[in-house]
Amino acid sequence: MEQKITVGTGPLAPEEVVAIARNGAQLELSADSLKAMEDSRATIDALVNDDKPHYGVSTGFGALATKHIPVELRSQLQRSLIRSHAASSGAEVDREVVRGLMLNRLSTMATGRTGIRTLVAQTYAAMLNAGITPVVGEYGSLGCSGDLAPLSHCALAMMGEGEVRNSAGELVPAADALAAAGLEPVELREKEGLALINGTDGMLGMLILASADLHKLLRTADLSAAMSVEGLLGTDAVFAQDIHALRPHPGQITSAANIRNILAGSPLIEAQKTGDHAFTRVQDAYSLRCAPQVHGAARSTLAHVESVASIELGSAIDNPVVMVDGRVESNGNFHGAPVGYALDFLAIAVADVASMSERRTDRFLDHSRNHGLNAFLADDPGVDSGHMIAQYTQAGIVSELKRLANPASVDSIPSSAMQEDHVSMGWSAGLKLRKAIDGLTRVLAIELLTNARALDMRDGGVETSQSAVAITAVRREIRKVVEGPATDRYLAPEIEAVRVLVDNGSLLTAAESALRSSVA
């Protein structure tokens, strides 16, 4: 029986968010979270007939917060809030982003600080378990007062309105999807509409998903850098442990160790150390020699970003919030600046890692710098163009990544009649980071494809490999989906085939398995 992930009053782990949002893992609410929600709901119920204004209970929203709402209209207030705020537009947001959005909002509900009924949280949990994914457009959040439009579409679906994707990915009316899952639409009560939309949940979900991807991609970047060093007949001396101990950034030390281990025992590298082919260059180019410093800095950035995500996962973000002592307090915890900055910071690191990868690829294609290989790795240069245009594709992506590295969080645009006069743009930062992660995946795939071709041209192919054991394993994995060097052929499918191997981790698995076997 599949184990369920428990959502309770304590924080979810990032890997649990990924498991539910991306991989469809099932979840359940803990008993302590249900009790906490019941207690805070009692606080809200006690305010329902209070003549004193309470934001989100008996007032309007945003610039309309001064408007007093009669008791008989307070449920309608919540429904109207969701319908009016479900105003997104543009391309449909990826399923995993919407699921992460819903999960993070559910996690805040489970803290018992929002005042919602347990029925609302249980219905959200049931929607996630049933694979019901509300349709959300890419535009609609300014990253302040919560990811308002995206979260409103999710709440709207729970009310049985709007459109969703069912577990098969089909576009269906929300009411039909709820009925198929045996769920009843929820009629919102006081405070609940506001509690469903006032959080940084979408941008946080995108941060967690991107961080998981980048862990894999940075290990892949170490792998591709090592293959480039070997394929360009470089030196492994610069990756020595004692050298990196002189500047002991943890990420740099990790990267250098990865590259050193991947290159260990490489006949191609060893051949450069003695005899007629002894290494005569004083030092390799920066894109080879400084890979641990750049990849390590990206790891340090990732570590900082994950510390931000960890705090956010343990937070209760709503406005107003129901305090443990029963106070209902307005606040600004919904502001997305902490997450927006982190998303933008990560985009800078992604762009720089990709930029270095593209420079290594370019060295392979220049006959004056590739140490004896054909120009552009072409079978018959002039008749054939080899990987010339693959590098163009890399260059185009890298140029785009530099644009995506421009921070969204330095922008702000006032809204709600100047009541909400400073916003984070964190949602936009998250969307562009997702595009950047995809770009880095493609850039690394092209470098690895180029590496494999260059190494085949060095030693005659993987069956006569003179590579280190881990690199030989990677070359063999690539050759399962892409043929070896020959005259020019349709290149786009080969780039895509290797991109898939990077994305699903097959190349890392091959390298790491070979390393384990070599020391067993």
What digits encode the pLDDT tens for the residues 109-135? Answer: 999 999 999 999 999 999 999 999 999
Q: Residue ranges of the domains in the chain?
A: 5-199, 206-519
For residue 37, which phi and psi values (nearest 5 degrees)? Answer: -70, -40
In the structure, what pLDDT confidence band is assigned to residue 350 with cuts at 50, 70 and 90? very high
Tell me the torsion sign for CA atoms 407, 408, 413, 415. negative
Instruction: State residue 144's pLDDT score.
Output: 85
What pLDDT does 423 receive? Answer: 86
Q: Are 468 and 230 in contact (CB under 8 A)?
A: yes
Q: How far is CA 499 from CA 27, 127, 492, in A?
A: 31, 32, 11
% of the chain beyond a pLDDT of 70: 97
SS (H, E, C) 98-133: HHHHHHHHHHHHHCCCCCCCHHHHHHHHHHHHCCCE
**Residue 109 identity:** M
pLDDT tier at 460, thresholds 50, 70, 90 = very high
**Residue 382: pLDDT over 90:** yes
Average pLDDT over residues 268-287: 80
- Which is catalytic among the residues 55, 124, 139, 341? 55
Topology adopted by domain 5-199: Fumarase C; Chain B, domain 1 (1.10.275)
CB 471 within 8 A of CB 266: yes
Mean pLDDT along residues 74-101: 93
- For residue 332 the two structure tokens come to 């600004």
Answer whether residue 76 shows pLDDT above 60: yes
Q: What's domain 206-519's architecture?
A: Up-down Bundle (1.20)
State the average pLDDT over residues 86-106.
Answer: 97
Task: Give percent above pLDDT 90 in the chain.
Answer: 82
Summarize the confidence of residues 65-87 as an average pLDDT.
Answer: 83
Q: What is the pLDDT of residue 77?
A: 84
Least confident of 52-56, 395-399, 464-468, 480-484: 52-56
**46: burial class by Cβ within 10 Å (0-12, 13-18, 19+)?**
exposed
pLDDT at 64: 66
DSSP 63: G
Quick one: pLDDT at residue 192? 94
Res 416: pLDDT: 76
Q: What average pLDDT does range 64-71 have in this prediction?
A: 72
CA distances from 76 to 66, 71, 105, 237, 335 (A): 17, 10, 22, 71, 27
- 143 backbone φψ class: left, alpha, beta (φ>0; ψ -120 to 50): left
What gap in Å lies between CA 26 and CA 119, rounded to an integer? 18
- Look at 44-53, 87-96, 447-456 and tell me which has the smallest mean pLDDT: 44-53
Whether the model pTM is above 0.75: yes
Active site residue 139: no
Average pLDDT (28-37) is 97
